[in-house]
Amino acid sequence: MRRWLLAWLLVGPSLCLAGGAEYWLSPAGDDAGPGTKTRPFATLERARDALRQARPAGPALVHLLPGVYPRTRAFDLSAQDGGTSAAPVTYRAEGDVILRAGAVVPTNAFRLVADPRVLARLDVAARGKVYELDLAALGVTHRQRFPDHFVGAGGLCEIYWDGHRLPLSRWPNGADATMGQVLDRGDGKSKTGHGGVFVAREERVARWNVAEGVWVEGYWRVPWSPSALRVASIDPQTRQVTLAVPIGGGIGSKYAKRPALGDGKEPWWAVNLLEEIDLPGEWAVDFKTGKLYLWPPSDPQKAVCALADMESPMARLRDASSVVLEGLTFEQGLGNGLEIQGGEGNLVAGCVFRSLGGNGVVIRGGLRHGVRSSDFHDLGEGGILLSGGDRAKLTPCGHFAENNHLHHLGIRKKTYAAGIQVGAYGTGPAVGCRVTHNYIHDLPHAGILYGGNDNVFELNEICRVVLTSADMGAFYTSNDWTSFGNVLRHNFVHSSPRANAFYMDDGDSGDLIEGNVCHGFSYGPFIGGGHDNVVRYNLVIACERGLHLDARGLARGYDKDHGLLGGLAAVPYQQKPWSERYPTLSGLLDRHPEKPYGNKVTGNAVVACPQPFHFAKPKDLAGSDLGGNVAFGLDEAGLKDPAQADFSLRPGAAVFAKIPGFPPIPFAEIGLRRDAYRTSLPRRVFGPVAVPAEGVFDSDVDIRRTDSGR
């Protein structure tokens, strides 16, 4: 009793009699106070430290009163800061609570450009309207010169104007330029050889000052790998642009017919040029002087300008367990919003991740962490990244992403920055994750990237993806014979004519694609030479090609020195539990792995597709079952109301009659749902969207809440 009384005297009356603890925070609070509702703390760190001191045996609750909480470093929670499943530690927003990392720029820091040398470089329309900021004087660290070759943002800070991200200067505005001709691919096999040479179509390039630094970005060789390269020289008479460094494979589309060096359609653009500040809101950094030049979209004396320069995550949980973050908004950090590593049972619920330079939430390792009913938009990279579990033992991690709205991502990193990423492309292995009821749309690249084993993706809606890249999917996985057990069921994917709906690329194997609805894609389900994929009972509507299975492994030598063999050797596929769970995998090398054995593409309804079936030669597909698929016209299939995007099947529809055993698809249950954290639903979109201007996404599009439901 005396020990409890001493703790009460030290931390104040917020300690609950039930053995828990309760504290209050306010931006106007005082860390020297007791942390009560009437005398709240000011910072998250003070509340965390109070909990460490109190060591409550019961649940702990930290209330955050409305307002903006400035962040200059990560909010760190470790193992000692967590709770238990019966006594969690909750940080709860009591209203509109914003954790903001952007540093506000004083209005007196703006100087109208007067230097004649700078004015001469500016576009005529911008002269007299551009201001300068001294980044060094403002303490901004992310102002250094771009690398000669980089992917993403090149390490540069970001600028926000009244809460909206401003775009780095770009030429051309809107649509990309294309190369008139490739004269030299460059040394595509060396990192130190000479760069490529191409002819620009426009005379505009002649006015760029290469001595001050010019960088051009583009999809130089393939439509899924953009990168930026420094320019070594520009010939103003011939418009020949010589790049300072090479890229792998050289420039010029690899799909161009030889002996051509390109097809003249390779997209490219210039970034961070003073000469190309020609619209309000655009800005650029002069790396030699360390000054940022901006054409402000409104009066700098009346607006709030903030610079994002904090690269660490805004919050970080390391080996903490049973921590709940409720209703918080994370914004204006240059890195990730939240990182969770290790621990067990942490939950992110009803939060908002916006205006960040990195990803929203990154979960690595641990058990049963989840992200529920949260919003992600205007992010430099992806939304939610999940990894965990033990692949060797096929032990699941139990992570989940449920009922989240993710859109307008990939602003700084244009590819491999998906809405949700599970066990693929650097996230780490993933076993036993669950991704359900999410709504993902308006992305430059993939909707969901996945790999690993026994992950379930169901009742998600994905649309308007692969807007600025190509050869990608709403769901995409690639290059792994061992990624067995993944289930993609009852998803609605639509309105993405540049994409494939369910894309198992380059030998990927062992997936179940069942009961999905896809509309308006280049291809529906697409198997790229893999094994033991099951594609059944899907509705494939108005896609250029319906079902696809090829035998690319014959030409690409899947049975020889190939990366797929290395991936197979990296897991104990001939030992338990692998040999019991995936018995066909254990004999893969005995059955000509270059051929696509064991696939079952059966019982699918292909509706209004110009080319319903797109299969390799029958002799190469002898080990796969392609029976029972039926092509329908739009009017005969029995869709309830396709004009209003209702693709549920009417009772007695022809699909049920002509495909025995075709099960009903729970179309009305797909997508977001109302719950305690998501009390209203966003406006849905249907139909393709025009390609957005580079770096300019309207954060207000499609996030206005309504109560109309669906």
Out of 39, 55, 71, a domain closes at 55
Give the per-residue pLDDT at 357: 98
Half-sphere exposure of 400 (CA within 13 A, CB side): 17
Q: What is the 3-state secondary structure (H, E, C) of 223-292?
A: CCCCEEEEEEEEECCCCEEEECCCCCCCCCCCCCCCCCCCCCCCEEEEECCHHHCCCCCCEEEECCCCEE
Whether a cis peptide bond, with omega within 30° of 0, leads into 172 is yes
Same domain, 231 and 292: no
Q: Average pLDDT for residues 30-35, to the nearest whole number? A: 98
What's the number of domains the chain is made of? 3
Same domain, 190 and 267: yes
Same domain, 297 and 181: no
- Specify if 375 maps to a domain: no
Taking 90 as the threshold, does the pLDDT of residue 386 lie above it? Answer: yes
Q: What is the Cα–Cα distance from 529 to 595, expressed in whole angstroms? A: 7
- Specify if 454 maps to a domain: no
Taking 70 as the threshold, does the pLDDT of residue 69 lie above it? Answer: yes
Same domain, 150 and 209: no
Same domain, 1 and 147: no
Contact in structure between 165 and 411 (CB atoms under 8 Å): yes
- Specify if 187 maps to a domain: yes
Burial class (CB in 10 A: 0-12, 13-18, 19+), 89: buried
Token pair 């054409």: residue: 295
Give the per-residue pLDDT at 528: 98
Taking 80 as the threshold, does the pLDDT of residue 522 lie above it? Answer: yes
CA distances from 104 to 100, 108, 159, 307 (A): 10, 12, 10, 7
Taking 60 as the threshold, does the pLDDT of residue 17 lie above it? Answer: no
Same domain, 192 and 244: yes
- Specify if 192 maps to a domain: yes
Contact in structure between 188 and 199 (CB atoms under 8 Å): no
Same domain, 152 and 219: no
Q: What is the Cα–Cα distance from 466 to 440, expressed in whole angstroms? A: 12
Same domain, 111 and 235: no
CATH (domain of 214): 2.40.30
Q: Average pLDDT for residues 84-99, to the nearest whole number? A: 98
Same domain, 165 and 184: no
Residues 6+ apart with CB under 8 A from 442: 407, 408, 464, 465, 467, 685, 689, 692, 697, 701, 702
Taking 90 as the threshold, does the pLDDT of residue 71 lie above it? Answer: yes
- Specify if 678 maps to a domain: no
- Specify if 533 maps to a domain: no
3-state secondary structure (DSSP) of residue 478 = strand
3-state secondary structure (DSSP) of residue 684 = coil
Q: State the DSSP H helix or E strand holding residue 583, giving kind and residue range, or none if neither.
A: helix 583-586
Give the per-residue pLDDT at 466: 97
Q: Average pLDDT for residues 182-207, to the nearest whole number? A: 93
Q: What is the Cα–Cα distance from 451 to 423, expressed in whole angstroms? A: 5
Q: What is the Cα–Cα distance from 360 to 356, expressed in whole angstroms? A: 7
Q: Which residue pairs from 70-74 have beta carbons closer than 8 angstroms and sit at least 24 positions apart in sequence?
A: 70/100, 70/101, 71/99, 71/100, 71/101, 71/310, 71/314, 71/333, 72/101, 72/103, 72/310, 73/310, 73/312, 74/312, 74/313, 74/314, 74/315, 74/316
CA distances from 327 to 678, 694, 705 (A): 10, 31, 16
Taking 50 as the threshold, does the pLDDT of residue 379 lie above it? Answer: yes
Q: Average pLDDT for residues 300-318, to the nearest whole number? A: 98
Q: Model confidence over 607-656: pLDDT tens digits?
A: 999 999 999 999 999 999 999 999 999 999 999 999 999 999 999 999 99
Give DSSP secondary structure letters for 2-36.
HHHHHHHHHH-TTB-TTS-EEEEE-TT--TTS---
Give the per-residue pLDDT at 14: 42
Taking 90 as the threshold, does the pLDDT of residue 365 lie above it? Answer: yes
- Specify if 210 maps to a domain: yes
What pairing do the DSSP bridges indicate for beta strands 267-271 and 177-184? antiparallel
Give the per-residue pLDDT at 523: 98
Taking 70 as the threshold, does the pLDDT of residue 595 lie above it? Answer: yes
Give the per-residue pLDDT at 354: 98
Taking 50 as the threshold, does the pLDDT of residue 691 lie above it? Answer: no
Q: What is the Cα–Cα distance from 438 to 384, expressed in whole angstroms? A: 11
Same domain, 295 and 229: no
Spacing of C-alpha 443 from chain mean position: 8
Taking 70 as the threshold, does the pLDDT of residue 547 lie above it? Answer: yes
Contact in structure between 323 and 338 (CB atoms under 8 Å): no
Taking 60 as the threshold, does the pLDDT of residue 10 lie above it? Answer: no
Give the per-residue pLDDT at 190: 82
Closest CA to 318 of 48, 62, 76: 76
Same domain, 148 and 282: yes
Taking 70 as the threshold, does the pLDDT of residue 4 lie above it? Answer: no
Least confident of 115-129, 395-409, 644-658, 691-705: 691-705
Contact in structure between 417 and 423 (CB atoms under 8 Å): no
Q: What is the Cα–Cα distance from 705 to 47, expressed in whole angstroms? A: 33
The pLDDT-based confidence of 426 (bands split at 50, 70, 90) is confident
Angle subtended at Cα 20 by Cα 18 and Cα 23, rounded to the nearest 5 degrees: 130
Out of 271, 297, 330, a domain closes at 271
Give the per-residue pLDDT at 471: 95
- Take residue 85 and report the two structure tokens written for it: 């499943």
- Specify if 621 maps to a domain: no
Out of 307, 324, 354, a domain closes at 307
Residues 6+ apart with CB under 8 A from 437: 402, 403, 459, 460, 670, 671, 672, 673
Between the two ends of the chain, the Cα-to-Cα distance in Å is: 57
Q: Model confidence over 201-236: pLDDT tens digits?
A: 999 999 999 999 999 999 999 999 999 999 999 999
The pLDDT-based confidence of 18 (bands split at 50, 70, 90) is low
Give the per-residue pLDDT at 709: 30
Q: Which residue pairs from 2-7 have beta carbons closer than 8 angstroms and sit at least 24 positions apart in sequence?
A: 7/53, 7/54, 7/55
Residue 93, sorted as left (phi over 0), alpha (psi -120 to 50) or beta, turns out to be beta
Chain mean pLDDT for the chain = 93
Q: Average pLDDT for residues 415-444, to the nearest whole number? A: 96
Angle subtended at Cα 576 by Cα 575 and Cα 579, rounded to the nearest 5 degrees: 70
Q: Which amino acid is present at 640?
A: K
β-bridge partners, 136:
none
Q: Which domain holds residue 260?
A: 171-271
β-bridge partners, 364:
341, 387
Q: Model confidence over 254-284: pLDDT tens digits?
A: 999 888 899 999 999 999 999 999 999 999 9
Give DSSP secondary structure letters for 70-134.
E-SS-EEE-GGG---SSS-EEEEEEEEEEEE-PEEPPGGG-EE---HHHHHHS-GGGTTT-EEEE
Give the per-residue pLDDT at 690: 47
Q: What is the Cα–Cα distance from 576 to 646, expressed in whole angstroms? A: 45
Closest CA to 323 of 84, 94, 41: 84
Q: Which residue pairs from 643-646 have beta carbons closer than 8 angstroms and sit at least 24 positions apart in sequence?
A: 645/494, 645/519, 645/684, 645/686
What are the strands, taking DSSP E only, across 486-565?
A: 487-489, 492-505, 512-514, 517-528, 534-536, 539-541, 545-550
Angle subtended at Cα 69 by Cα 67 and Cα 71, rounded to the nearest 5 degrees: 160
Same domain, 267 and 287: no
Percent of the chain topping pLDDT 70: 94
Q: Model confidence over 399-413: pLDDT tens digits?
A: 999 999 999 999 999
